[in-house]
A and B are shown apart, each in its own frame.
Chain A
Amino acid sequence: MAPLPLRLLLAGEEGIVRAIGGGKELYARLAALGFVPGKKVRVVQNQMCGPLIVSLGAGRVALGRGVAQRILVEKVLG
C-alpha cells in the first residue's frame, strides 16, 4: 500500500511512519518525540479540521494538520 499523509488516517487507525518531509528542523523535532520511520503510530483523534492527537506507545502528541500532512505513513490494515 502506498504511503499516505498521517492527516488522512481516521481515529483508531494505525500506521507505520515511512517518511517525514518538510526539512531538517521538523524532522529533528518529530524524531525527538519518537516519530521516526518504522515507528507505529495510532491516531487517537482526527476531526478533519484542526490538529490531530496521535499516540506513540505511551505518549500522546498533538500535531497541527500541516505537520500531519508531511508525515507519510503506511496504513496498518485490520
Chain B
Amino acid sequence: MAAARTEKAASGVPAGQAAKAKFKEAARVTVALAGNPNVGKSCIFNNLTGARQHVGNWPGVTVEKKEGQMLYAGEAVRVVDLPGVYGLGAFSEDEIIARDYILAGEADVIINIVDATNLERNLYLTVELLEMGANLVVALNLMDEAAGRGLKIDVPKLGALLGVPVVPTVAPKKQGMEELVAAALKRAREGSPQPLAVPYGREVEAELARLETALAAYAAAVAGLPRRWVAVKLLEGDELVRRRFERYPALLKLVEESAARLAALTGEDAAALVAEGRYGFIAGLVRETVSRQKTAAEKLTLSDKIDQVVTHRLLGIPIFLGAMWLLFKFTFALGGPLVGYTEAFFEWLGGRAAAIPNPVLASLVKDGIIGGVGSVLVFIPPIFLLFLGLSFLEDSGYMARAAYVMDRLMHALGLHGKSFIPLLIGFGCNVPAIMATRTLENRRDRLITLLVAPLMSCAARLPVYVLFAGAFFGARQGLVVFSLYLLGIILAVLMGMLFKVTLFKGEQAPFVMELPPYRLPTFKGTLIHMWERGAAFVKKAGTVIFGVVVLVWLLSNVPWGAPVEQSVIARLGHLLAPIYAPCGFGHWEAAVALFFGILAKEAVVGTLGTVYGVEEAGLQAAVQHHFTPLAAYAFMALTLLYIPCVATIGAIRREAGWGWAAFATAYTLALGWLVACLIFQVGRLLGLG
C-alpha cells in the first residue's frame, strides 16, 4: 500500500518530480502508530500517508497490518499502523501482534495516539509502552473534544512527567500533524530513552528487585529486553514472557515464590498489584496535568441520552431491525433507477460490439464479456449504496450498540455481542467478516463465528436477488430480499446453536466491549470507506468474474457453431441438473450457473446471461420463462447458503486451517440443498408452486 501521495500538511514538501524519484528509495526510518481503538489512529494514518484506509468506530478495524509511506523533508518514511489495543497483554491476537512488532524493534519510533478526553484509560497503554522501553512520541488527539468538555491539559508538563514529547493534535482537521512528524523523526534520530520505571510500591518493588537480580543470569532468555520489564511481566503472570523461561524452572520457581509472598503480605494477586500500580501512577499524572473547568459532577452526555433510546430493553431490537430495513430500503429505492441507467449503458455497449466484423470476436465481446461482466456491473449502484449505509452505521458508532443490543440474542448461539460485528460486516462481504473474527479473544468464539459468517448474505448475492426478486415479485421485491437476509441470520443462529452443543462444548468468553461516543461521520470519511469496499467488488468483477464469464462463453461455444444445448457447458449442466431437480430448478442452465457461482456468487447472474444468450435487459424475461416464483425463491435461498465463494473459503483456510475450510464448505453445501428443497417441496404442498 505504498501510496505515492504526500499530504502537504504532513510533509511540508510538495511532491515534485525530484521528490517522487527519491520516494521510490527504501525508507530509512520506520514509524509505527499505536493506540486504543476509536482514538483517530486510522485518521492520523491517512493524514500522514494519504493512503485510503478505513476510519471506523468499532474495535478491530485495523486488525490488518497497514503500511504507508510519507515524505518528510525529502526523506521517505515508512508508516506502519498497528492494531488498536487497550494494553499489551498476551490475551488477544491484536495485542500480541502489536507487542511483538514493538519488541522486535522494527520501528525506529512509535507514535502513541491518545484520546485526550479519556486520558486515564489511554495512558495505560502509554505506560506499558514506556515500560517496554519503546521510543515514543505521544499524539494527544481529540484535543477539540477535550476542550469542549472543559478539560484543560498541561501538555508540556505531561511530556516532562512521561519523559517523551507530547504533541496536541486534532486529526480530522489535520492539526498538529507536522509537529507530530517532526517530533517523531527527531526522536527516531535520538534513539530510545531509558525505560520508564513505574513505582509499584514497597512490597512489589522488593520482589522486582529480587527478580531483576536473578534475571542477570539469564541473558539469553532476556534477549536484550529491559530487565525490569521482564520482571514485571513475569510477576504479572504474562504467558508469552513466561514461555521464554520454560527451560529455567529455577527462575519460574522464584517468580512463584514472589507472587506467593505478595499474596500473603497484601492479600492480593500480583497481577492486580501491578495493574493498580500503573493506574496509581497514571492517576498521579492526570492529577498533575489535567484540570476541569466545569464541576466534576458527571452529567449524562449526548451519547448516553442516545444510548438510552437505542439500547433500550424493549426498543433496542426493533430499532436495530428498523435501521436494517431502512438500509435495504435505501439501497433498493435509490439503487433501482440507477440500475436501469447502467443497463441502458451496457445495452448500448452491446449494440456497438455487435458491429465487430469477426463473428467469433463479436460473440465473445457481446455475449461473453459485455453480457457477463455487464450483468454484474449493473449492480454497482445498489452495492455501493449498501456499503455507504453500512459505512455510515459503523463510523457513527452505532455498530457497537448493535452488538450490545444483540448480545442477548447472540447468547443463544453461545456467542456474545462482539461476534455480531463480524457477522454484520458479512452483509457487505464475507471475506472481511472472516478477517474481523480476529478480534475475538476466544478460539471457540472465533471458530463458531467463522463457520456461520458465510451464511450472512453478502453484497455478491445481491445481483442474484435483484434479478430474481425483480422478475417474480414486483412490488414486494424489497420484502422478499429482506426475508432472504433474515433466512441467513436465522440459519446462522440455528447452526451456531448446533455447533455450540456438538463441536464446541464449554464456557464462553466474557463479553467486554468499549462503546465509543457517537460521532457524526465525516462525509469524506464515509465515502472513502464505501469506496474501499466497493472498489474491491469492482476489482473482483474485473478479474475473477471476467475470467469466469470468458470461460463460460468458451465452454458454451465449443464446439463452435453448434447450438448452446449441445455445447460442453450444457453437458456439464445436464450432469449436475438432477441434483437440483427436487429444489425446483432441474434444468442445466441453473446447474451451470450455480457451478460457476462457487468462484464468485455474482457469477451466477453473469453465467445465466451467457447461457441464455441474452443481455441484462432480456435476462428477466429469460428467467421468468425458466423458473416458477417458488422455484425462483428456492434458487435464491440456495444461492445464499450453498458453499462460500472461493475467496471466503480461502479466508477461512488462512484463519483456521484446511480442516475447517473443508468443513464449512461441506456443511453449507448440504444446508443449502436441504433448505432449497424444503422451500420448494413445502411450498408446493401449500399450493404455492
Contact = CB atoms under 8 A, between A and B. Distances in A.
Interface of A: 20, 22, 24-34, 36-39, 42, 44-45, 47, 49-51, 53, 55-64, 66-67, 70
A34 B121 contact: yes
B242 to A, nearest CB: 11
Interface string B454-490: 0000000000000000000000000000000000000
Contacts of B85: 32
User: At the interface, is chain A mostly helix, strand, loop or mixed?
Assistant: mixed
Nearest to A57: B120
Given A32-B125, A51-B417, A64-B407, 17 more contacts: A27-B272, A29-B87, A31-B279, A32-B86, A32-B87, A33-B86, A36-B272, A50-B407, A55-B304, A57-B120, A57-B121, A58-B117, A58-B118, A58-B121, A58-B149, A61-B512, A62-B400
Given A53-B311, A66-B510, A29 B407 contact: no
B269 A27 contact: yes
B510 A27 contact: no
Contact of B510 (A22, A32, A36, A57): A22
A8 to B, nearest CB: 17
Contacts of A29: 86-87, 89, 91, 441, 510, 512
B627 interface: no
A18 to B, nearest CB: 11
B582 interface: no
Given A27-B271, A32-B87, A49-B408, A60 B304 contact: yes
Interface in B408-447: 408, 416-417, 441
14 contacts: A22-B510, A25-B91, A28-B275, A31-B272, A32-B89, A34-B120, A34-B124, A36-B279, A38-B279, A45-B308, A50-B407, A51-B408, A60-B303, A67-B511
Contact of A64 (B149, B311, B400, B511): B511
A63 B307 CA distance: 15
Interface residues of B, number: 43
Contact of B118 (A27, A30, A57): A57
Contacts of A62: 400, 403-404, 407, 417, 511-515
Given A29-B89, A32-B124, A47-B313, A66 B271 contact: no
B276 interface: yes
B512 A50 contact: no
Nearest to B282: A34
Given A32-B86, A32-B124, A44-B304, A37 B511 contact: no
Contacts of A56: 121
Given A32-B86, A33-B121, A51 B279 contact: no
Max chain B Cβ within 10 angstroms of own Cβ: one of A27, A49, A61, A64 = A64
Nearest to B510: A67
A36 B121 contact: no
Contacts of B308: 45
Interface of B: 85-87, 89, 91, 117-118, 120-121, 124-125, 149, 236-237, 268-269, 271-272, 275-276, 279, 298, 303-304, 307-308, 311, 313, 400, 403-404, 407-408, 416-417, 441, 510-515, 517
A61 B311 CA distance: 13
A31 B237 CA distance: 14
A6 to B, nearest CB: 12
Contacts of A58: 117-118, 121, 149
A49 B403 CA distance: 15
A51 B511 contact: yes
Contacts of A25: 91, 441
B269 A26 contact: no
B304 A24 contact: no
Contacts of B404: 51, 53, 62
Contacts of A33: 86, 121, 512, 514
Contact of B515 (A26, A31, A60): A60
A10 B563 CA distance: 74
A38 B513 CA distance: 21
A4 to B, nearest CB: 19
Nearest to B118: A58
B118 A64 contact: no
A22 B407 CA distance: 20
Nearest to B267: A19
Contact of A37 (B125, B272, B513): B272
Nearest to A12: B300
Nearest to B268: A37
A27 to B, nearest CB: 6
A65 B482 CA distance: 32
Contacts of A57: 118, 120-121
Contacts of A64: 407, 416-417, 510-512
Given A28-B271, A31-B275, A66-B510, A61 B515 contact: yes
Contacts of A36: 272, 275-276, 279
What 9 A-B pairs are tightest by C-beta distance, nearest first? Answer: A64-B511, A32-B87, A32-B86, A31-B275, A50-B408, A58-B118, A60-B515, A47-B313, A28-B89
Contacts of B417: 51, 62, 64
B311 A45 contact: yes
Given A20-B272, A27-B271, A37-B272, A61 B86 contact: no
A59 B149 CA distance: 13
B512 A59 contact: no
B417 to A, nearest CB: 7
A20 B275 CA distance: 12
Given A27-B269, A27-B271, A58-B117, A51 B510 contact: no
A47 to B, nearest CB: 4
Contacts of B125: 32
A53 B307 contact: yes
B298 A30 contact: no
B511 A45 contact: no
B117 A38 contact: no
A15 to B, nearest CB: 14
A70 B272 CA distance: 14
A55 B517 CA distance: 12
Nearest to B409: A50
A33 B268 CA distance: 20
A44 B311 CA distance: 11
A24 B511 CA distance: 15
B581 to A, nearest CB: 46
Contacts of B298: 42, 55
A56 B124 CA distance: 14
Nearest to B128: A32
A2 to B, nearest CB: 16
